Amino acid sequence: MDQKKVGYFIKELRKKKSITQEELAEKLGVSNRTVSRWETGINMPDLSILLELSSIFEVDLSDLLEGERREKDMDKDLKETVIRVADLSNEEKFTLVKRIHVIAWIGIFFLVLSMILTQIPYNDQGFISALSGFGLGFSLGILIIIVLITSKHFLVIRAFKKRILSIK
């Protein structure tokens, strides 16, 4: 806490309210010399007087102790926080999209494999037929998983999963 900065801030607030040092001293029950010492940064007001000053000048006590209005800084901090949250959200979405792409490519691979195996002569032999059926079933399962992941129900399932994992 910079006493001179706080004192200058008190002086500026007093001038904005068009109050003299004598009038402020009278409102606070101190001498005008004490107010002068605050404004020059020689002394600091007591906590009870700081509370009264914040009420008189209609500023937060934290602003008074910092020697400046922090609305702009708070807006800046709020913007930075929102940007960080948005970045995290974008990272989660990017990770999810990457996973969906990997799953989709695996499904496409098994679908193509199944289609190739159905075109082989003597398809009705046990191993090739089973492999073709597995590929078709696996690609259908992948398709269902992608539909679930991209639906709104996935968010509910994911929140439930996080809740269960956080309990353990």
Q: What is the pLDDT along the chain (168 residues), one digit of tens a residue?
A: 678 888 898 999 999 999 999 999 998 889 989 999 888 988 888 878 888 888 898 888 778 888 877 765 556 666 676 676 666 667 777 888 888 888 889 989 988 988 888 887 766 678 878 888 888 898 999 888 888 878 777 778 777 887 888 775
| Same domain flag for 160 and 89 | yes
pLDDT at 43: 84
pLDDT at 88: 62
Domain housing 8: 3-69
37: domain CATH number is: 1.10.260.40
65: left (phi over 0), alpha (psi -120 to 50) or beta: alpha
Contact 25, 35 (CB under 8 A): yes
pLDDT at 16: 92
DSSP assignment of 13-28 equals: HHHHTT--HHHHHHHH
pLDDT at 13: 92
pLDDT at 86: 66
Compute the chain's Rg from CA coordinates.
Answer: 35
| Same domain flag for 130 and 96 | yes
pLDDT at 12: 92
| Same domain flag for 112 and 56 | no
Q: Which of 69, 85, 113 is the last residue of a domain?
A: 69
Element (H, E) at 31: none
pLDDT at 162: 78
Measured CA to CA, the distance from residue 159 to residue 74 in angstroms comes to: 31
